[in-house]
């Protein structure tokens, strides 16, 4: 008898495999909880960051040989030798030129022979793609610091930006938190024309089709706006020699004074890798001795991102995700069992989460909401300047549904007030800021990655709606109405919703449906029914769902994955259907059956795919926890919704 047949059987018979699967997944997740009550899963990305870590050690001439070999072993293992020959941005993806250039450079710095088969194959792939001159801005900046390209290959980014008035077209307050924290120390590196110590004199001239000093096409203009900003770029270079040295020194000092208070201890500037590296290198350039507390602490923050694997390899995470992982794990366990151990785990998770709420410091977000008291949670262990709405909505909602008489009521109310105050003028909610919608900034030469801004998105808006919906505060009704109107405008013609922080339209559509349902929207409205129908239409023949990261490049691929189902996409689709009242549907039964059939012997689910973008089209992530807690939550919700009343 198939699992689908069992699920169609009488309730008692059907519940047995479901109960066993939930029990096994619950036990596995409980065993992964840390002694203090939290969870933190690995947070993997492509080889760019691990490569940059090796090159950082060569920049500073502080090379940890043992760690370098572990990182190099990991990088080698990710190369696609039986295909394009380079490194992709995600499992199964196409060659990414910039990632491949950095990986090649890092392996050569680590001592790999450039004539070894794997580097020769990578070099051929790079040259076939146009050479290192065609790599992205951040890669060319790194190459410039190692003397591999002239500084004219890098956009003109004057440190004097630090002195611009707030009304200026470009100002730090107008860009996203990740761009802000990355750029400020980078201003210093560019202004001082940083040169890596590069003790072994490693160079990669062989990666250029045209010698880098003769290359004249480092920048590409794809639109009139691009051409306009390239003209400004050239004008800036011409005027740069006229800038008084005293003014430049004052701007550098302002940049230093900006990032020092935000260094964030051993959790690092912005609690993400790129700003940490830039800050460490900037401090080195400014003359901070190796034993200076700020410099040593910054290095420790970077070292804490390293994951050492049992096979002798290691990789560097872009950041860590303990608050996010803990909240979702607790949510999955909340209805997974009434036994004391399970409920104790949820309680301990809440106790761990509660004191991490940011209640004292008004971070950078306060520029757009100066009268708003802080009340958010960050994604990482500590990142007080940059709490985010997604984590805050999740944690506050979890605290509320865990116990309506929760002792965390004041924290929940404060979080809800902060969320409401962070609504953007268009009715949507962004990740870290409000009204961060200055679209022209994504056309400056520095912004070839197109990720300078943090505008409202459908998935975050859905999460905030879900939180406000379960709280049912009378004062939030106008906020909810505006958010719903925003989502109506964002819906794609096929009924789906884009997913900014998870892959992709399946994630976005689930997030929106969950928010709309909990906010009390009539699910029979045609536009909501269209979203439900879209989810059902993307179900695979095997009963699961899957979605490729290529859907960020081609929307026609939305909700598709070449017929390959994945645990996280299947769980998200099921959770979306459950929110929409479809728990008894045939699609739900088949989806649950797929999860039951693909559960691992360890009680969890496993899949190699990257399941979220850091930045769509340029940077992707694999949340290792997504195949642990989302399938479990989907199964517990199914059992809860289909159990005899």
Which residues are part of the catalytic machinery?
A: 390
Q: How many residues does the chain have?
A: 645
Cα dihedral 143/148/151/153 (nearest 10): -70
Give one DSSP letter per residue of 587-601, joined into a string.
HHHHHHHHHHHT--T
Distance between CA atoms of residues 455 and 457, nearest Å = 6
118, 76 in Cβ contact below 8 A? Answer: yes
CA distance 579 to 499: 17
Alpha carbons 400 and 52: distance in angstroms, whole number: 42
Alpha helices in 214-336 (DSSP H): 224-239, 245-259, 273-285, 293-303, 322-334
DSSP symbol at 93: P
Provide CB contacts within 8 A for 443, sequence distance 6+. 223, 225, 226, 228, 229
| Cβ atoms of 77 and 313 closer than 8 Å | yes
Q: What does DSSP assign to residue 44? A: E
User: What is the rounded CA–CA span in Å between residue 362 and residue 641?
Assistant: 41
Q: What is the CB-side half-sphere exposure of residue 381 using CA atoms within 13 A?
A: 16
Instruction: Give the phi and the psi of residue 179 in degrees, each rounded to 5.
Output: -70, -40
Quickly list DSSP for 489-558. Answer: HH--TTS----SSSSSHHHHHHHHHHHHHHTT--TTSHHHHHHHHHHHHT--TTS-----GGGGT-GGGT
Q: How far is CA 118 from CA 66, 80, 129, 143, 488, in A?
A: 21, 9, 17, 21, 50
What distance, in Å, lies between the first and last C-alpha atoms of the chain? 26
Q: What are phi and psi of 621, to 5 degrees?
A: -135, 155
- Radius of gyration from C-alpha coordinates of the chain: 25
Place of tokens 């009242």: 581
Q: Closest Cα to residue 196, out of 285, 136, 107?
A: 285
């Amino acid at each position: 008898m198939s699992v689908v047949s069992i699920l169609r059987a009488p309730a008692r018979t059907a519940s047995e495999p479901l109960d066993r699967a939930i029990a096994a997944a619950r036990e596995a997740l409980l065993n992964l909880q840390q002694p203090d009550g939290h969870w933190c899963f690995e947070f993997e990305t492509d080889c760019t960051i691990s490569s940059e870590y090796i090159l950082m050690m060569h920049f500073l001439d502080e090379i940890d040989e043992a760690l370098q070999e572990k990182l190099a072993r990991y990088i080698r293992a990710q190369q696609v030798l039986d295909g394009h020959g380079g490194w992709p941005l995600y499992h199964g993806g196409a060659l990414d030129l910039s990632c491949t250039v950095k990986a090649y450079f890092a392996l050569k710095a680590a001592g790999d022979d450039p004539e070894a088969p794997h580097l020769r194959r990578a070099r051929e792939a790079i040259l076939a793609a146009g050479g290192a001159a065609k790599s992205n801005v951040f890669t060319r900046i790194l190459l410039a610091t190692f003397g591999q390209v002239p500084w004219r290959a890098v956009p003109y980014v004057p440190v004097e930006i630090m002195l611009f008035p707030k009304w200026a077209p470009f100002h730090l307050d107008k860009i996203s938190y990740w761009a802000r924290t990355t750029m400020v120390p980078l201003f210093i590196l560019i202004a001082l024309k940083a040169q890596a110590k590069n003790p072994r004199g490693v160079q990669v001239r062989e990666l250029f089709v045209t010698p880098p000093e003769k290359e004249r096409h480092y920048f590409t203009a794809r639109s009139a706006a691009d051409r306009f900003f390239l003209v400004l770029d050239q004008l800036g270079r011409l005027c740069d020699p006229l800038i008084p040295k005293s003014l430049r020194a004052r701007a550098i000092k302002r940049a230093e004074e900006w990032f020092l208070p935000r260094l964030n201890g051993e959790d690092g500037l912005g609690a993400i890798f790129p700003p940490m590296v830039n800050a460490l290198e900037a401090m080195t350039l400014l003359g901070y001795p190796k034993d200076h507390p700020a410099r040593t602490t910054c290095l420790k923050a970077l070292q804490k991102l390293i994951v050492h694997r049992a096979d002798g390899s290691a990789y560097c995470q872009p950041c860590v995700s303990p608050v996010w992982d803990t909240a979702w794990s607790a949510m999955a366990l909340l209805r997974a069992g009434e036994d004391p151990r399970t409920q104790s785990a949820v309680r301990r998770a809440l106790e761990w989460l509660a004191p991490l709420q940011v209640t004292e410091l008004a971070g950078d977000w306060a520029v757009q909401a100066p009268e708003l008291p802080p009340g958010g949670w960050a994604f990482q262990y500590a990142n007080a300047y940059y709490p985010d709405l997604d984590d805050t909505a999740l944690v506050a909602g979890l605290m509320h549904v865990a116990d309506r008489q929760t002792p965390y009521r004041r924290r929940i109310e404060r979080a809800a007030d902060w969320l409401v105050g962070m609504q953007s003028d268009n009715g949507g909610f962004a990740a870290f800021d409000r009204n961060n919608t200055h679209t022209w900034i994504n056309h400056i030469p520095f912004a070839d990655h197109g990720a300078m801004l943090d505008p409202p998105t459908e998935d975050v808006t859905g999460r905030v709606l879900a939180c406000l919906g379960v709280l049912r505060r009378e004062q939030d009704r106008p906020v909810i109405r505006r958010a719903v109107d925003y989502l109506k405008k964002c819906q794609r013609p096929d009924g789906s919703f884009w997913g900014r922080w998870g892959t992709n339209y399946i994630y976005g559509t689930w997030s929106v449906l969950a928010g709309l349902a909990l906010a009390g929207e009539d699910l029979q409205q045609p536009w909501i029914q269209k979203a439900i129908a879209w989810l059902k239409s993307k179900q695979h023949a095997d009963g699961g769902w899957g979605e490729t990261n290529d859907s960020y490049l081609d929307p026609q691929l939305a909700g598709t994955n070449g017929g390959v189902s994945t645990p996280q996409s299947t769980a998200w689709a099921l959770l979306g259907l459950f929110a929409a009242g479809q728990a008894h549907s045939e699609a739900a039964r088949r989806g649950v059956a797929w999860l039951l059939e693909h559960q691992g012997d360890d009680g969890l689910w496993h899949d190699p795919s990257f399941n979220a973008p850091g930045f769509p089209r340029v940077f992707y992530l694999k949340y290792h926890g997504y195949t642990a807690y989302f399938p479990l939550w989907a199964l517990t919700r199914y059992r809860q919704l289909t159990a005899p009343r």
